[in-house]
């Protein structure tokens, strides 16, 4: 499954940057971040959160499959003298002997995974967390699902040239699966000399859906929010954030 990532902070609007600043401040306060705390940022992209949280003097590890994003993040960290460990890898394959106080998965990456991938990742989180560790992630809500429409769209250079630096034509077909609460965006990209297709599947969740998946993997839900900046939960939010605590598995 595909999850889009920004490849540099220069691509982020001032409004988004302000939200990330506010969100990072809330995360630092909510989880009492500082020296001695270890954070893993799964799907870190260009380090938008990793850099901000590293400024609390916590130890931060960022994992992302995009080489371009990781290179940008490393350059930013080097420029600021931030000792962040960045790993250019599919986070589904990530392994380490380190143990973390907080694991992040922000920008709804969780929604781009299949049920089996989500189970495997949550099991990995359980292993990687310290005994009292927490997970913070956000997901698309059923309110957002209700707003999605099935569409067929054709546009030159769709998504402002996201798919290729060269001129291309793109067909977008969106399909909704009501029972599963899944949306498929199918992109067919036509360039000179080649045609290729991307399938972007996204799962939408209720709080109960998230709670069930977490509890099956050894977590207890601690709280819900409307976003990763700590705003109170609302059923009308198109996204919502989850804080889950690791439960100890007894033999």
How many domains in the chain? 2
> And the tokens for 184?
């498929």
Q: Report yes or no: 186 and 202 within 8 Å, Cβ to Cβ.
A: no
Residue 215, CB-side half-sphere exposure with 13 Å CA sphere? 9
Q: Are 28 and 100 contained in the same domain?
A: yes
The per-residue pLDDT for range 177-211, each reduced to its tens digit, is 999 999 999 999 999 999 999 999 999 999 999 99
Say if pTM beats, i.e. exceeds, 0.75: yes
Q: By residue range, what is the domain housing residue 151?
A: 144-203
Q: Report yes or no: 68 and 129 within 8 Å, Cβ to Cβ.
A: no
Residue 14's pLDDT is 81
Question: Using CA atoms, how far apart are residues 188 and 199, in angstroms rounded to an integer?
Answer: 9
CATH of the domain at 100: 3.40.50.150
The per-residue pLDDT for range 5-14, each reduced to its tens digit, is 433 344 457 8
Q: Are 84 and 134 contained in the same domain?
A: yes
- Quick one: angle between helices 207-216 and 115-128, nearest 10? 60
Give domain status of residue 99, yes or no.
Answer: yes
Q: Are 84 and 70 contained in the same domain?
A: yes
Q: Are 64 and 187 contained in the same domain?
A: no
Q: Are 150 and 87 contained in the same domain?
A: no
Q: Are 55 and 100 contained in the same domain?
A: yes
Give domain status of residue 3, yes or no.
Answer: no
Residue 219: how many other CB atoms lie within 10 Å: 24
Residue 219's pLDDT is 97
Q: Report yes or no: 201 and 1 within 8 Å, Cβ to Cβ.
A: yes
Residue 8's pLDDT is 39
Radius of gyration, alpha carbons of the chain: 19
Q: Are 104 and 53 contained in the same domain?
A: yes
Residue 91's pLDDT is 97
Give domain status of residue 1, yes or no.
Answer: no
Residue 245's pLDDT is 97
Q: Tell me which residues of the chain have a pLDDT lower than 70.
A: 1-12, 249-251
Q: Largest Cα–Cα distance of the chain, in whole Å? A: 60
């Amino acid at each position: 499954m595909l999850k889009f990532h920004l490849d540099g902070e220069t691509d982020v609007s001032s409004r988004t940057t302000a939200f990330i600043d506010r969100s990072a401040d809330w995360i630092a306060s909510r989880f009492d971040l500082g020296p001695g705390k270890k954070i893993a940022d799964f799907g870190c992209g260009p380090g938008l959160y990793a850099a901000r949280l590293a400024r609390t003097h916590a130890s931060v590890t960022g994992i992302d499959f995009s080489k371009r994003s990781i290179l940008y993040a490393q350059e930013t960290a080097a420029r600021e003298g931030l000792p962040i460990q960045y790993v250019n890898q599919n986070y589904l394959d990530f392994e380490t002997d380190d143990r973390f106080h907080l694991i992040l998965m922000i920008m709804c990456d969780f929604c781009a995974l299949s049920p089996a991938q989500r189970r495997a990742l949550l099991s990995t989180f359980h292993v990687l967390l310290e005994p009292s560790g927490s997970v913070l992630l956000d997901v698309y809500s059923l309110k957002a699902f209700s707003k999605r429409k099935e569409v067929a769209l054709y546009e030159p250079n769709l998504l402002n040239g996201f798919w290729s630096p060269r001129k291309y034509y793109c067909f977008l077909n969106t399909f909704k699966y009501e029972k599963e609460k899944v949306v498929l965006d199918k992109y067919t990209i036509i360039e000179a000399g080649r045609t290729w297709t991307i399938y972007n599947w996204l799962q939408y969740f209720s709080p109960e859906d998230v709670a069930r998946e977490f509890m099956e993997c050894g977590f207890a839900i601690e709280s819900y929010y409307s976003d990763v900046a700590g705003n109170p939960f609302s059923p009308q939010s198109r996204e919502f954030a989850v804080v889950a605590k690791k439960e100890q598995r007894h033999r």
